[in-house]
Amino acid sequence: MLHQHTTSTPPRLILGSSSVYRKELLSRLGLPFETMAPDIDETPHSGETPQATALRLAREKAAAIATRAGAALVIGSDQVATLDDLQIGKPGNHANALKQLQMMRGREVIFHTALCLWDGRRADAASTAQLCNVQTLVRFRDLDDAELDAYLRIEQPYDCAGSAKNEGLGIAILESIRSDDPTALTGLPLIALTSMLRQAGVRFFGTTPA
């Protein structure tokens, strides 16, 4: 078990992401935090599994921020969507998004949401960084091209892996979601994160973590 570093003063907490979705999720915990954008290459490595890609990038994001942040808790997260073991990235534009939704309709897609908590207060931060991957199984409705096109023009989810915002209108093109953490699909698994923060000594509700 990692040594808990509990203090009466809340540690500096940094979200290593520029994602508005992750920022909104973290704000639910009521903890003061900052955001910094990690500047890393997110290209998957040759032969790398989707889960390995997500875990590596979550750790690299946290590590990149930690080099600038000093004695702080840094959160890194990354999400990779997969279908038939092929990685599905952010579409970037309407045409690519439509192709993604056409490929995924009527099928189940696995979303790997990896999380890293890097404790910059520790001298051994690199070897004790907490890591996990939360899988979410998402089945897309078998909708025709006209509906998929209409959805994309309304919500324009071009910055989302899988081309659908489940926290918005995108929920209407999904048939089912199965996961141990309902927040994982949006990009930051809060159940896993609160466990990591407790392990790092962060207090919730004004009490000392058990």
Active site residue 119: no
Length of the chain: 210
* Dist CA 101 CA 112 (whole Å): 18
Spot the catalytic one: 41, 78, 145, 159: 78
- Ordered DSSP codes for 89-121: ----SHHHHHHHHHHHTTSEEEEEEEEEEEETT
Q: What are the DSSP E strand ranges found in the chain?
A: 13-15, 34-35, 73-83, 86-88, 108-119, 130-140, 174-179
* Dist CA 170 CA 3 (whole Å): 41
Is the sign of the CA dihedral 152, 157, 163, 164 positive or negative? negative
Q: Which of 201, 208, 198, 142 is nearest to 5 (CA)?
A: 201
Given a contact cutoff of 8 angstroms between Cβ atoms, the answer to whether 114 and 79 are in contact is yes
Please identify every residue annotated as catalytic: 78
